[in-house]
Amino acid sequence: MRTSRDGYQREGIHLYTKGNRVKLYVASAPYFSDVADDMLEVRRGDLVYLTGWGTCNVPFKPHEPGTKFSELAEHAVKRGADWRMLSSTARRFVYDDRLPHATSSHHQKSVIVRKGRDLVAYVGGVDLTNDRWDTIEHDQAELRERTGIKCLWDGWLDAHARIEGPATKDVAQNFFDRWNSDKKPSQDLMDDLLDFENPDFSKLPPIDEGEIPIDIPQDGTHAVQLCRTFSPDYDHYDFAPQGEQSIFHARIKAIRNAQNYIFIQDQYFILVPELLDAIMEMMPSIERFIVIVQRTVEAGYTGYAKYLYDMVAPIQKAYPDKFKLYTTKESKQLYIHSKLVIVDDVYVSLGSANWNRRSMTSDTEIGINIVDTELVQSPDNITVNKLARNFRIQKFMEATKLTYDKLDAMTFLEACDALEAAAHDDGTSIIEPYSVEDQAHFDFVPDALRQIVDPDVEEN
């Protein structure tokens, strides 16, 4: 961790914590529902703190009235709760532009809710905005359109987590690091030209200094490590003077510890040389490397199709039988937004960071790595972690449309065969093989473009 911060210790955030209770969301609908329920429980002296890439006034429970974003916020404030957000809107939402480059973004997605003595935190890939709400079946296109959730897509693939336990204080501290930073946002020439001004705001006390002491449970089975990205190129992160790239460092370490398989579901899977090197190092010894990625839709102006090819081609050429690349069937009109890595049914990593250079080194990101102490015996006669295996099976359910019981009874390689069969079915499943080939126009994608759309920031 200290290496990822160029020798600087993190203040107020543990290396990792034990005793957490983690709930993983294979689809976003239950996440929206749980967030709404937690927000509806806050009262005077409670708080709701959020970081986000963006928000939209969509219903969190499309079957129920009174659950739109603005309604939840209004009701919480009227009941006396403190509601704050670091995002791109006004009022108690502070626009945060403290970034190294014009194309950089604050990409973290977190929610912290203190309700009485309870503290709950959410971390993952889901923004509280349009298009995101969906079920694991991805069959709610009509409801999504009727309720204003749909923007561009008929369905949405993502991954998120709810945390109770010591790690909640780490998620909260990340919010305080940004909110309480000495460098205020929106203080440069561009903001003067745009005539933009944030509302007044003051520094916040620690999360456990409320009128009622919080009660942090420690009886869970999950060890959680909070990881982040803050650019070393930005000079005013007083909580990370040389930046932080702990997501990147943890990702490389997890790959290098793989013994059986690596499963990735991601919005992007584009070239990050250090990650490619780690994968190629492990490919001879693992049984499968499975990637489900969003079909490249930005290729015309970003070069992302080339960067995807540059990541995929070396693996595909050297290990065509072990490496499986899938995307969603184009006719389904689904969008993959997940940022998920599962290794060996023992390790789960999810958060806001995409598989690209900017998320690993430059954009502001947050993620968690989870290991479970509750063990189960798999059909392969291998001892694995219950949480990781359950989540991997649920992601295979989503892709194949097979039942949990059927996939639960399969060995891992049998489940991989089921995934491959689903990719070639008559349209029942949502996935298909993704063929990535070299294109003549790739030769004309300038290197300078890559540094604009996917900047790479080296550690100092």
Share of the chain above pLDDT 90, in %: 76
Average pLDDT over residues 47-58: 94
- Alpha-carbon gap, residue 220 to 346, rounded angstroms: 16
Token pair, residue 39, equals 């927000």
Q: Residue 413: helix, strand or coil by DSSP? A: helix
The model's pTM is 0.93
Lowest mean pLDDT among 174-183, 288-297, 299-308, 400-409: 299-308
Token pair, residue 258, equals 């793989």
At 133-152, the pLDDT tens digits run 999 999 999 999 999 999 99
**Which pLDDT score is estimated for 195?**
53
* Helix residue spans in 45-104 (DSSP H): 69-78
Which residues, listed in sequence order, are joined to residue 227 by a DSSP beta bridge?
367
Lowest mean pLDDT among 179-183, 220-224, 379-383: 179-183
Q: Which of 26, 1, 19 is nearest to 399 (CA)?
A: 26
**Which residues 6+ apart lie within 8 Å of 371 measured at CB?**
222, 223, 346, 347, 385, 388
**Which residues 6+ apart lie within 8 Å of 384 measured at CB?**
344, 345, 346, 375, 376, 377, 378
Q: pLDDT class for 424, splitting at 50, 70, 90? A: very high
* Domain pair 21-217 / 244-453, same fold: yes
- The 3-state DSSP composition of the chain as helix, strand, coil percent (nearest 5) reads 30, 25, 45
Q: pLDDT class for 200, splitting at 50, 70, 90? A: low
Q: Which of 141, 132, 139 is nearest to 160 (CA)?
A: 132
Per-residue CA distances from 400 to 253, 260, 289, 379, 415 (Å): 30, 21, 17, 19, 10
At 281-301, the pLDDT tens digits run 999 999 999 999 999 875 556
DSSP class per residue in 181-195: -SS-SS-SHHHHHHT
Query: Is 192 a residue whose pLDDT tops 50?
Result: no
At 107-135, the pLDDT tens digits run 899 999 999 999 999 999 999 999 999 99
DSSP class per residue in 387-402: HHHHHHHHHHHHHH--
Lowest mean pLDDT among 17-21, 176-180, 438-442: 438-442
Q: Could you give phi then psi for residue 135, rounded to 5 degrees?
A: -105, 170
Q: pLDDT class for 199, splitting at 50, 70, 90? A: low
**Which pLDDT score is estimated for 93?**
44
Query: Is 338 a residue whose pLDDT tops 70?
Result: yes
163: left (phi over 0), alpha (psi -120 to 50) or beta: beta
Q: Residue 24: helix, strand or coil by DSSP? A: strand
Average pLDDT, the chain: 91
Share of the chain above pLDDT 70, in %: 91
Which residues, listed in sequence order, are joined to residue 403 by a DSSP beta bridge?
none
Average pLDDT over residues 373-389: 98
Average pLDDT over residues 154-180: 98
Query: Is 354 a residue whose pLDDT tops 70?
Result: yes
| CATH superfamily for domain 244-453 | Endonuclease Chain A (3.30.870.10)
Query: Is 430 a residue whose pLDDT tops 60?
Result: yes
Query: Is 176 a residue whose pLDDT tops 90?
Result: yes
Query: Is 191 a residue whose pLDDT tops 70?
Result: no
Per-residue CA distances from 36 to 21, 113, 269, 382 (Å): 19, 11, 32, 39
- Alpha-carbon gap, residue 400 to 128, rounded angstroms: 27
Q: Could you tell me if 156 and 69 are in contact, meaning their C-beta atoms sit under 8 angstroms apart?
A: no
- What kind and span of H or E run contains 86? strand 82-87
Each domain of the chain, given as residue ranges in start order, spans 21-217, 244-453
Q: pLDDT class for 398, splitting at 50, 70, 90? A: very high
- Which CATH number among 3.40.50.10860, 3.30.70.60, 2.130.10.10, 3.30.870.10 corresponds to the domain 21-217? 3.30.870.10
